[in-house]
Structure 1
Amino acid sequence: MSLQLNVPFAEKDAAKSKGAMWDPATKIWYLPEDRYERLPEVEQWIPAPNTPIILPTELTVAQADRPCWKCQHPNQVIAVGSYYFYEKDINERDETVWLEQSFFTLFQQVSALSDNLQHFLKDHYPHYRYGYSHTTQTSYWCNHCVSCQSIQGDWFLFDEADSVFNPTSPAAAAHILLKKFQFKYAPLIDAGYSYGDHLRLITEFATQNTTT
């Protein structure tokens, strides 16, 4: 995967010296994944500075059906997922590092997304959008009912045992569809994530389709 960079013309030589490359077809600067050890050097040009997680260019989206908690209207709910990703952290010397996390997870409590991921969600999943939750008194990217527009809160989708994205059996996990979409440049996200047997069940028993 490659990470798009926003490099002003006056800083192009500096960016090139730090591993950035120029795509003449799209007229975009980018950092190839095989140079991600240089992420701290190009951090000033990352287009979404408040998104400390870099996802693969092959994005995974988990889909499932669940009735609205308020009006009981049938809904499709989604979660952005990944089989591996890079996460910004600070080491013991107070230096910025980007750690490769090599496990499958679904992201929740999503507070920020890069522009390319926002546009993708608007086109493919318009009912997954930024909203304010009166329950948590916070704003985040979340599922909304297609009928009454009520937020389908992350707690009820991810955290309750046997909720739609927290299956406790192979049969429950089999109701989830994992779809893959190809991006030209890596999307970025600021979100929480979890570990656990429910994610293993999803990777083993969820239905999977080919890349779109």
Structure 2
Amino acid sequence: MPVIALLAPHIENGYDEVYTISGIEKMPVNIRSFIQSKVPTFVFRYSKTVGKKYFANTCPHCNVIYGDFFLHDEPGAPFFPADEEDAKLLYIKEIPINGPVEIEGGAVSGMGEIILEHAIRV
């Protein structure tokens, strides 16, 4: 199942780190359109588990949400690689944007750098 995460090389009031963004509640239309043109199963859906709507990865067959916790917060999860070898299994596609972007979601430091350094660029 294809899943996506956003990486942010800088966030306002953040440290000099690369962040992964999860629990995205709002993002610009041009970014959403770009993402959904590549992975149409990344949609704005209500999650009973977290009690709110957010942009979530969903199954292309049954439309069930694959929650951000299982993608971002568990060691060994796709966006929480255990090591460089795990990070090399990921793909990165840069979104063509200029200037700052406002996205409402949770920013997590720690894994973005290893993903950015070792993932395959497409």
Interval containing the TM-score (normalised by the shorter chain) = 0.7 to 0.9
1:103–1:127 distance in 2 versus 1, CA, 3 Å: same
Q: Is the 8 A contact 2:7 2:112 kept in 1?
A: no
Q: Give 1:187-198 correspondences, 5 Å limit.
A: 187-196=101-110, 198=111
Q: Does 1:111 align with 2:25?
A: yes
Q: Which residue of 2 aligns with 1:22?
A: none
In structure 1, distance between residues paired with 2:33 and 2:72: 24
1:82 partner amino acid = A
Q: Does 1:125 align with 2:51?
A: no
Q: Relative contact order, CA 8 A, sep 6+: which one is greater? A: 2
1:168–1:139 distance in 2 versus 1, CA, 3 Å: same
Unaligned runs of 5+ residues in structure 1 are 1-74, 88-98
1:83 partner amino acid = P
Helix, strand or coil: the match of 1:204? helix
Larger Rg: 1
TM-score normalized by the length of structure 2: 0.87
Q: Give 1:45-194 correspondences, 5 Å limit.
A: 75-85=1-11, 87=12, 99=13, 101-183=15-97, 186-194=100-108
Q: Is the 8 A contact 1:128 1:144 kept in 2?
A: yes
How much does 1:185 deviate? 6.0
In structure 2, distance between residues paired with 1:112 and 1:170: 31
Q: Is the 8 A contact 1:129 1:144 kept in 2?
A: yes
TM-score normalized by the length of structure 1: 0.53
1:158–1:118 distance in 2 versus 1, CA, 3 Å: same
How much does 1:101 deviate? 5.0
Unaligned runs of 5+ residues in structure 2 are none
Helix, strand or coil: the match of 1:140? strand
In structure 1, distance between residues paired with 2:14 and 2:87: 26
Q: Is the 8 A contact 1:116 1:187 kept in 2?
A: no
How much does 1:113 deviate? 1.1
Q: Structure 1 vs Structure 2: percent identity of aligned residues?
A: 25
User: RMSD of aligned C-alpha atoms?
Assistant: 1.9
Higher percent of residues as strand: 1
How much does 1:119 deviate? 2.4
